[in-house]
Structure formats: structure tokens, C-alpha cells
Structure 1
Amino acid sequence: MSRDLPADLWKRLTSTVGLVCTNVDGTVNVMSAEWSCFVNKQPLYAAVALGPRCVTGGRVEEAGEFSVTLCAEDQAALADFAGSFSRADIDKTGSDLVGLGAPEATGTPWVTGGVVAVECLLRQVVPLPSHTLYIGEVVAAHLPDGPVRPLVKHGAMYALGEPVERTQIVAAAEVRPGGTLRVAATGPGGAGAREWRVTLLDADGSPTPLGTYPSALYDDLLVDVPLPAGQDAGALSGHRVVVERDGAKPGTARVAGAGRGAAPVAGAGPGTAPVTEAGRGAAPVTEAGPNTAPVTEAGPNTAPATEAGPNTAPVTEGDPGAPPRPGGRPVTACPGLPESPLRIAVVQTAARPLDIAGNVRIAAGRAGHAARRGARVVVLPELHLCSYDLRRLARDDGAAAVRADRSGQVTDRRMEPLVRVAAHHRVTVLLGAAVRRPGGPLTNSLLAVEPDGTVSVPYDKRHLWHDEEAALFSPGSRASTLSVDGWRLGLGVCYDMSFPEHARAAALTGAHAVLYPAAYASGTEHRAAVYLRARALENTVYTVFANPLGGPAHRPCAGSSAVYGPDGATVADAPAGEDTTLVADLDPKALAAVRRHLRMLAELRTAAR
């Protein structure tokens, strides 16, 4: 399928840093791939290795194609910048150092100025222990006019070659939906240079200082800048941003997102599709690479739920073990039903033992991938942040625990990648963690990462699994629900589903669905299916089962995650052993129809005195 390519092109595709371009629905992203090389001569295949913090892998799989530019020596600063931020952080194509060439054989542009750029059709995805290899067939190549020195070493990561000294700031700027201006930058600084100065230039070059800002993580800049009084964000077309700091050359960028115009593509002419800047908005997203596995969609074929409506304020309910209401009269269930479907994603994947930061990155990647498919709620398994390995937890719960204050708020910086995904996509993420409050015991809890940037502990597991868990954790004492887009979602963890009273209490307080992150061992998942079908049917609610893969050798898990409807039927289920994300729609019409026919909640009668 390759076009007429130079016979010796493979000799140019030696392993070095690559700038990978993806184009998904007109949204272009540029990301660094530390290892890019050729892997087959005839037909010519090129490969890029992407790490677990990179969203680009999911974009490559979604588009089925990519381009990669092997960096020239003078692109060291650009390589550092492209690898420091996600497309969800900022539109990097607005930087003055990012030139995009028009594609010839695909729909994906390529970064100009490198040793060679190739357009590729994705042929194979190879998961590796710490990275994922994306292999594409080269269908077009773009060579420089003259000799170009390749980038052999940048930063402190490699032993081959001499480091390239970076003196240039690389910057990008983008209009945010709320009327602010997001600015991102990387670059060196002199001794003690921790501050960045940001200036807005209008179309005539007149400067307006926007302030001085401290460095973010890794000494980069990522800040939302309020616009000057009277400045209309929609009128920034033609404006530029200058970012400066002591000891470095200033970086400049056009303001992306102003007027939602097309990104400039070098050489674009008739017949070249414009590369647009859709998908505005963002807070820092660090997404998992190997775990952006296929997404299985099921349920009613409805459009993704809109972003309007209430968003995830945790509602704490009373004790589900409370005695029934007296009097022998019907117990009235919550009469309100949601107005629109809720798309929910269930992540079935493996976690890394005691690696909270790594597991946050996995969760962020999968949540972002699911949100792009319209999910409003993403559910990950029990103890995802530390992995369900009780023996390791017993040896070192300090490494495994997330700290919360007495009110249940979490401010752990390791959660930041997931917080930013939730904020950018306006999605709620629910996942399991070991939690320790001041002066309190360890709990097996659920964290809710919400679109407003907060992380809370809405629920502690009430029913601990025998002595194995009781030796480590203290049980919770309260039930809880989350409210998302008018849907009330009851919360439970694993063994909680074995107790009918747990789901019944949630249903009587108005829950439309009950979510159960879990860690059922391989060979026992059939019990969860029986429990959750029953809990769904007897309470006319949706039930959601998020079960992991992997785990310790003596107690592995094999997934079989599922969503069950209010009549107990399977809405969607994931194959056992497959790393995947299950996406399903919770349908208010289906819920209403079942409750009209099966009126257990409305006709429930408690025993008379």
C-alpha cells in the first residue's frame, strides 16, 4: 500500500525522539515519543513507543493512523514542550515552533522541520510492560530540502550523544470556555528563575501585561489567565502571547481557539481538509497508554448525556440497617426520574501494587478516553489506587493510603492528573482507594473525583470480607449516593452487594442505580452476577459491577464487569480477561417502564405493629 518511497528511507528512520501527530474529528495533537524507529523494510513499517501517561495512544487507535517526525537537533525544546502537556491541557499547535505540513495520503498533518516525517496507517498495537508500541505502515514521506542533524539526546534521559542545550521557551495559548486564556510553556531559566511573565500582543503588536506566575509541576507553566477588563475572548483572533523568564529566549504563540478557526497547515491547498481546533478547554490530563483498550458500547442507542444539570454533589444518607418504617403503610419511593440518559463507563484493567501515582495515570487515561465517547460517569474497581493485594497492603499501608481530612476531602497532589481530566471533560470518576483520615483507621473507600476539581471520600465499605479485610480496614457506617445529571447513584463496594438490605436502602432513598466497584477473584464472578441481577430486579435499579484484572498470584482477578438493567437483564458485559472499557447508557425511559410494571418499591409494605 506504500506509495513511491525512497529505497533507502528506512535508513533515516533510526531510533530517536519523534513528534507524533494525531487527528481525531479535526482535533490535532502533537506529542513526543521518546522511541521512534523503523521496524520492517518491505513494506515499510515505522513504530512509536508511547508511555502510560500518554493520551496519544488512544487517539492513534481511534483514528487508525498517525504521523511521526523524527526530530532535528534544533527541535529539542519543542520535543520537551510537546511531551510535557497533553492535548487536553492546551492546543499545542498554536506555538510558533509548531509548523504543520499538509498530509498527502492520510488525514493527519505532520510536524515540519525534522529529519524525516512519515504518514502511517496503524497496523498493529503491541502492549509492553511499561509502554505500548504503535506500528504503522508508511504511506507517505516528507524529506527536508537539505541535511539536518538528528536530535540524539535532550534533557538528562539518554547516555548516547551530548546533551543539547536548550535556551528557548516554547509556549502555547488557548481561549477557554469560561472567558479566560490558558497559557502553557516550558523552557530553561537562570538560577532561581521560578516566575514566568505573560504578555498579550494585539493584532497591531501593542502589548498588555497579563501578570507574573509561578512555575507549575516540573518547573513548567500552566495557568489560566484572566483577560483584561473589557477584553472579549472571542475577539482575540490575530492576537499573540509572549512568555518570558530570566535566562531564556522568550516564547511566542498565536492565541488558539479565538473564533474557532483552522490551524495553519503548511502547503495546504485545494483538496486539503482543514485541520480545526475543536475540543476546546482543558486542565492537565495525563492519560494511560497501554490501558486505552477497546471500548465496548452497549445499551440504548442514545446520544451522550449533555453537560447540563447537577454535577455530583455527594449526598450522605442514613444507615441502611435502620429499622423499617412503622405502620404497615406503603413506603413511597422517590418519585423523581431523570430526564435524560446517563452514559456510564466501567473500566476493567489491572492496577500496579502500591503505585498510587501510576494508577492515577491509568485512571486518568481511561477516564479521558471514555469521556470522549460521551461517558458522564467513569467507574474503576475496588482499591484501584493501590491494587487489591492485601498482603502488600499489610506490609506497607503508608505507601498505599490516600490522606483525607476529617470532612472527607482529599488534597493529595498525586490525584492531580485525574482531577484535571475530570475538570476538562466535566466527568465524574469513581474509584477505590485505601484512605486514612487524621487519627483514624484505614478504610476501604471510594473516591469521587468531580468536575469542579474536588476529590472527596463519599463512601467507606461497610461489609468487610471476613478476617482478611477486617485485619486491615475499619468498616464504614453510612450509606451514600452521588447525584449526576439528575441520576442518583447509590454506592457500594464488592461484598456490600451480598446484602440485599444495602441496595434496598439506596433504592428507598431514591437511587436509580447502584455502583459496585469490586475485586472478585477469578472463578467467583458468577456470584457477583447473581447478586447484582437480584439487586437490580428486586429494587428496579440499574446495577454496575467494575471488576479488575490481575492482582497477586495467589488471588488474581479476571474482570467480567457488567451493567444490569432494572429488570435484571444484562445491559452490557465485558469479556473475562480482556483489558477494556465498557460503555453503556442508563435509560430513564427503560427505568420508568420497568417501574410501571414491577412496583415493588411503591407497594412495599412493612410489618404492622
Structure 2
Amino acid sequence: MSGTVKVAALQMRSSTSLTRNIADFEALVREAAGKGATYVQSPEMTGALVRDRDSLRAMITSDDKDALVARAGELAAELGIVVHVGSTAIARPDGKVANRAFVFGPDGARLATYDKIHMFDVDLDKGESWRESATYEPGRVSTVVDLPFGRVGLAVCYDLRFPQLFRAQALAGASVLTVPAAFTRQTGEAHWHVLIRARAIENGAFVIAAAQGGRHEDGRETYGHSLIVDPWGKVLAEADGAEPGVVLAEIDLAASAAARGKVPNLKNARDFTIADGAGLANAS
């Protein structure tokens, strides 16, 4: 599918208050729609950024009762747009927590969900350490959804570092890849731009990445710099630093087919095995 569409990435600074975050989310969605966006994506953990595990568990609920999820569907229907909640924490029936994305169509219907697969379990410089798997249950299914303008692959934040996920989505027909995120300032300064651009170039796809930015109430600091990148790796739009706001760009999905035609690496990939030693298996 091809066609031009205006898309938006919302940059937020989510607090520990779900009520405040929903109000901020709604204001940015309305701003984006008012500027002509028909697809709007919010960052990872739109609902709340709460580092303390017990506090988070005490404030979340199932997705059928979650106030942010309900409001996102209402806004999609009212404004006649696609609303993509990058993710929010959801209580699972088994007592565990999901880091879950939601996509609502222009009629307000829920089109897709996605639970973040890769857990951010890392030890960074300056004593910064994260163990996402201590709170969240990883997803096991990659999601690609058909939207009015084309086929879109869903991912969340740390998934960005696993190119096989995006390759599989591209091979499944996705010409738009999404990476809503709450990248730390430390990792964002080092890797955010190059990884987003690499995923676009590798797959001949647009990448839309709404981000959290700034210092949050729970003490963490996120990088911001929400991005929209074209299939040739060109940055079409970028948030100026870490301040909340709306990033907009016109994308033409024909550019994805054109990029894949020029560099058909999706078609040219070959199966191979790994051999120990000096490659003697290839010797004549």
C-alpha cells in the first residue's frame, strides 16, 4: 500500500500520576490532530513512570479498566485518527505486569496490542542499573497491524537493539516500524539516533519513535529526541531536546517500496551456517 499521510510522535515527561499523564497525553493528541496528523504515537510508559515496583503494582489495573486505554479509544473515535499508545503498565490476570502497547482505529476500535518482548536488564556506567524483568513479564509475540495507510510493526524501547524483530516485521509486510521509548539519557546520547536510523535503512522502512524526555518524578532521566526517519535513513523530524511536544512529518509509503527496490536486501538475504576455524568449508 502507498499514499501520503501525516504522522505525529508525542514527546512526554510522564509523572507518577496517571491523572496528570492522561491530561498531558490528551492535550498533545489534540494538538497533533489539529495540525493534521491522522496517526499519533505516544511514548513508552505514557500512563506513568514509577520506578518503585510496589507503588506501580498498587496503581495499575487490567486493560479493560485502565483509564488511559479508555481515553485513547475515545480520542481516536472523536478525532477520527489512529491513536497508538506506545505502552503503559497493565496488570495481567496472572498477577504479573505487562508493558503493553495499544493501537486504536479512527472509529475507536482496538486494532492491536503488543507486550514488550525484550526486558531492559542492564548495568550502565555511573552506577545506573535496571532490572525490568523484576517487574514485567516479557511478551512472546511480535505484532504487525494493518492501518488505513499501511502495514505497521509494533515494538517498544529496548526492542530497538534486536534487529531480528524488525526484520521479521519487514518480511511480514510492514513498511512502517515503531519504537515508542523511554531511553535513558546515558544510552540515548550514545545510541538512539544511530539505532533508529539503522533499523530504517536495514529494512527500507519508516521508523516513528515517540520518546520520554527530561527528569521524571521517580528520579530517572530520559533522553527525548523523538524521531521520524525515512527508509533511506534521513531524519524527517526530531524533537528539540527533551522538552514535551509534538513532532510531525508527512510520509509517503511509496518511499519504502522505492528504497527496497534500490537496495533489495530483504530479498537478497541468504541462509548460512557458522563454521569454527578458518573457513575451510569454503575452500576449493
Shorter-chain TM-score category?
0.7 to 0.9
Match of 2:103 among 412, 425, 448: 448
2: CA distance, partners of 1:481 / 1:424: 25
Q: Quick check: 2:47–2:68 contact (8 Å CA) kept in 1?
A: no
Matches within 5 A, 1:396-545: 396-404=55-63, 410-413=64-67, 415-431=69-85, 432-455=87-110, 458-466=113-121, 468-526=131-189, 527-545=191-209
Cα–Cα, structure 1 residues 565 and 414, in superposed 2: closer, same or farther, change >3 Å?
A: closer
Question: What CA distance in whole angstroms lies between the structure 2 residues aligned with 1:373 and 1:600?
Answer: 36
Q: Which residue of 2 aligns with 1:604?
A: 269
Q: Distance in 1 between matches of 2:217 and 2:65?
A: 29
Tell me which residue corresponds to 1:348: 11
Q: Could you tell me which residue of structure 1 aligns to residue 212 of structure 2?
A: 548
Structure 1 CA distance, aligned partners of 2:67 and 2:235?
Answer: 38
Does 1:376 pair with 2:77? no
Q: Deviation string for 1:147-170 (max 9, x for gaps)?
A: xxxxxxxxxxxxxxxxxxxxxxxx
Distance 1:553 1:401, change over 3 A: closer
Q: CA deviation at 1:412?
A: 3.4
Q: Which runs of 5+ in 2 are unaligned?
A: 122-129, 274-284
| Cα contact 1:542–1:566 (8 A) shared by 2 | yes
| Equivalences for residues 74-153 of structure 1 within 5 A | none
SS of equivalent to 2:131: helix
What is residue 361 of structure 1 aligned with on the other side? 23
Structure 1 SS opposite 2:114: strand
Whether the aligned pair in 1 keeps the contact of 2:6 and 2:37 (CA below 8 Å) is: yes
RMSD: 2.1
Cα separation, 2, equivalents of 1:457 and 1:590: 25
Paired with 1:434 and 1:456, the residues of 2 have a C-alpha distance of 18
The one-letter code of the counterpart of 2:199 is R
Contact 1:382 1:494 in 2 (8 A): yes
Secondary structure of the equivalent of 2:179? strand
Identity %: 28
Of 48, 54, 57, the residue aligned with 1:386 is 48
Q: 2:258 aligns with which of 584, 593, 597?
A: 593
**Aligned-partner SS, 1:543:** strand
Scaled by the length of structure 2, the TM-score of the pair is 0.85
| Gap runs ≥5 in structure 1 | 1-337, 405-409
Higher helix proportion: 2
- 2:204·2:232 contact (CA, 8 Å) conserved in 1? yes
Question: Against the structure 1 CA distance between its residues 516 and 487, is the aligned structure 2 distance closer, same or farther, given a 3 Å change threshold?
Answer: same
- How many residues are treated as equivalent by the alignment? 263
Answer yes or no: is 1:582 the counterpart of 2:244. no
Which residue type is aligned with residue 46 of structure 2? H
Larger Rg: 1
**8 A Cα contact 1:422 1:429, kept in partner:** yes
Mapped contact 1:344–1:376 kept (Cα < 8 A): yes
* Structure-to-structure mapping, 1:236-251, within 5 angstroms: none
TM-score under structure 1 length normalisation:
0.41
Contact 1:390 1:468 (8 Å CA) reproduced: no
Q: Deviations over 1:534-566 (max 9, x none)?
A: 111111111122111232464211411111111
* Cα distance in 2, alignment partners of residues 402 and 450 from structure 1: 23
Q: Distance in 2 between matches of 1:400 and 1:569?
A: 40
Q: Within 2, Cα distance between the matches of 1:357 and 1:529? A: 31
| Equivalent pair of 1:386/1:400 in contact (CA under 8 Å) | no
Cα drift, residue 477 of structure 1: 0.1
